Amino acid sequence: NAGVTQTPKFRVLKTGQSMTLLCAQDMNHEYMYWYRQDPGMGLRLIHYSVGEGTTAKGEVPDGYNVSRLKKQNFLLGLESAAPSQTSVYFCASSYSNFVAGPFGQGTRLTVV
């Protein structure tokens, strides 16, 4: 049972490049979340999903897109990366809409 797996773990992008972060869960959870965490700050919700085929905006959705075509996967896309998107990205899934978790191990993204 792998839980929540994020791919990749590390990535360096040049400004303007695009990439997709993958979050995969094997617990049949309905709810999935993408957060970003900057140094010394709390987690900020980017987008979330309450079920397959659904997505919704969080606190800081600008510059990101998401898709939930399959229940087990939640993809986070950066169409044109900017240095301000340098951050650690955490994905989470949940069986309940009242609690987030487990979380993945994080993706450390640097945009230069």
Partner 1 sequence: LAKTTQPISMDSYEGQEVNITCSHNNIATNDYITWYQQFPSQGPRFIIQGYKTKVTNEVASLFIPADRKSSTLSLPRVSLSDTAVYYCLVSNQGGKLIFGQGTELSVKP
Q: Residues interacting with partner 1, by CB under 8 A?
A: 31, 33, 35, 41-45, 48, 50, 56, 58-59, 90, 92, 97-106
- Which residue, 14 or 99, is less far from partner 1 as judged by CB? 99
Distance, in Å, from the CA atom of 92 to the CA atom of 75, rounded to the nearest integer, reads 12
- Least distance CB 74 / partner 1 (angstroms): 13
Q: Is 22 exposed, middle or buried (0-12, 13-18, 19+ CB in 10 A)?
A: middle
Cβ at position 42, least distance to partner 1 in Å: 5
